[in-house]
Structure 1
C-alpha cells in the first residue's frame, strides 16, 4: 500500500522505498532525536550517503546490515551527486543524511536543483535543529510573553558571506532570542556586534556538539563570550543562544491563564 510520503508498506508493514533520494535530517547528534519517519527510511534504504564529520556513527545503527554506506566528508558535490544519480537510476533508494534540519545551513538547495535537472525524484525529511535541543537542555522557552516573542537564526560572515541587510549588528538591534550558528571562529567580531545592542550581562548559552557524547553547555555573560570560547578551545560545531529568556523572574503566558478564554475554553 502506498502512503502519501512516497514509499510503500507491504503486508508486514515494512517499508519498500521508491528509487529516490531522501534528504534526511539526522538531528544534532543524539540518535533518539531522529524522527520516526527518518528512522523508518534509514531502516529500509539501499544506500546511505552521510556527512561523517557532522553525523555520529551511532545514527547508522538503524541502517540495514547490507546497506551501502558512503561517507562524504572528503567529497565535493561533484563527486556526491553522480553517486546519488547512478544509484537511483539503478533502482535503488538513497538517503542523503545531513546533520540537524536540512532547511538550515545544510547546502541542500544546490543538491535539489541538480537532482531536479537530472530528473531524479527526491524528498526532504525534516530533523530536529540544534537551537531546539539547546532550549530543551537549558530548560527555557525562547518566546516568553512580555519579554521576547521572536527567534532569529543566523550566523556571522566568514568564508560564507552574510547579505549586508542581515548583518549581525542590525539583527541584534531587535534584542530577540538570537541563535548564532557557525560563528565560533569569528567570536570576537560576533561579540562586539552583539554588545552594540545587548547589555554586557545578557546571559549567553555556549552549546558545543549538542547530542554528542562530549556535549558541553556553558552559560556566561555576553562580555565573557569570546574568553570562554577560547578557554574551551571551541572552533566548530558550536551554537550560541543569546536571549533574555535565560534571565530569572519572567512572567507567565496568557494561554493557560484562568482569565484567558478561547474556542476550547469559553467564558462561563
Structure 2
C-alpha cells in the first residue's frame, strides 16, 4: 500500500496523528526533501528506506513504489503541507491506478493555515471577506488564463498566493490592475511554523520592497486583503445573544 501523507506546514509536531503513525510503521519513505522538515524523518524506524524525491523524476519515484509493493512493503509518499495543494499527486495516483497498486491519502496542515496561525489571522471576517482565493503566479508552470490574478483580485476577497515570492513587483501591479488599492493590507509569511519563521506586514504596493528589505526570495506565502488588518469587521451572528441557533434560542432586547 502507498500512503500519500501531508507533512504539515513545517513544525514537526504539526503532522497529524495518523500521518505520524504511517511514518512510524513505514518500510519506505519517499519525501519531498526541498520542503519537508527533515526532523519528521526521526519518526521512522531505523531500518526504513529513505528517498529524497527532490533528486528524483516521477518515473524514479514510481519505480521505488513498484519495487516496494512487489516486496510487500508499506510506502509513505511524504509531501509538504497538504498534498491536495500543489502536490503533484494526481499524476502519481494515475500511474498507480495503471499498475493496479492501492493507495490512500492522509491530509496535512497546509502552509496557508500555518501562515494564518503565524499572524493570528482569521481569513473570513464577517463584513470583510467570506471567501479565500488560493492561487499562484504563472512561472515555469503555467496558470490557466481564466485564473488570472486580476480576475481574482476583482472579487476583493482574501487572497493567499503561493509560489510567487520571486515575482512580487509584477504581482503588485496585477493586483492593482484587478481592483485592489495599493494601500490594501498584505503580509509576507516566510516558512510558516518553521523555527526560522518570519512575518512581515505591508501593503499591496510595498510587497516587493518589503521582501527585498528582509531578504525574502522564496518559501513564502503572500496574503492580501482587508482581513489582514482585521479592522472594521462585524461581530459573528453565531454568538450574538439575539441570534437563534439549533442549540439555543436568542434573547430579544
- The TM-score with structure 2 as length reference comes to 0.95
Q: In the alignment, which of 178, 182, 190 is matched to residue 200 of structure 1? A: 182
Q: Which moved more, 1:236-245 or 1:89-98?
A: 236-245
Q: Residue 62 of structure 2 contacts residue 92 of structure 2 at CA under 8 Å; is this kept in 1?
A: yes
Number of aligned residue pairs: 249
What SS does the aligned partner of 1:255 have?
A: helix
Query: Residue 265 in 1 paired to residue 211 in 2?
Result: no
Alpha-carbon distance, 1:100 to partner:
0.5
For 2:211, the equivalent position in structure 1 comes to: 229
Distance, in Å, in 1 between the alignment partners of 2:121 and 2:232 is: 12
What SS does the aligned partner of 1:22 have?
A: strand
Which segments of 5 or more consecutive residues in structure 1 lack a partner in the other structure? 1-19
Query: Residue 37 in 1 paired to residue 14 in 2?
Result: no
Following TM superposition, the consecutive aligned residue runs of length 4 or more in structure 1 with deviations greater than 3 angstroms are none
Question: What is the 5 A alignment of 1:1-268?
Answer: 20-196=1-177, 197-247=179-229, 248-267=231-250
Q: Which deviations, in whole Å up to 9, do the C-alpha atoms of 1:4-37 show, x marking residues without a partner?
A: xxxxxxxxxxxxxxxx010100011101110111
Q: Which deviations, in whole Å up to 9, do the C-alpha atoms of 1:132-157 show, x marking residues without a partner?
A: 11111211211111111000000011
Q: Which has the higher helix share?
A: 2
For 1:3, the equivalent position in structure 2 comes to: none
Q: Which deviations, in whole Å up to 9, do the C-alpha atoms of 1:223-254 show, x marking residues without a partner?
A: 11011122333222110011211222422111
Q: Which moved more, 1:241-250 or 1:162-171?
A: 241-250
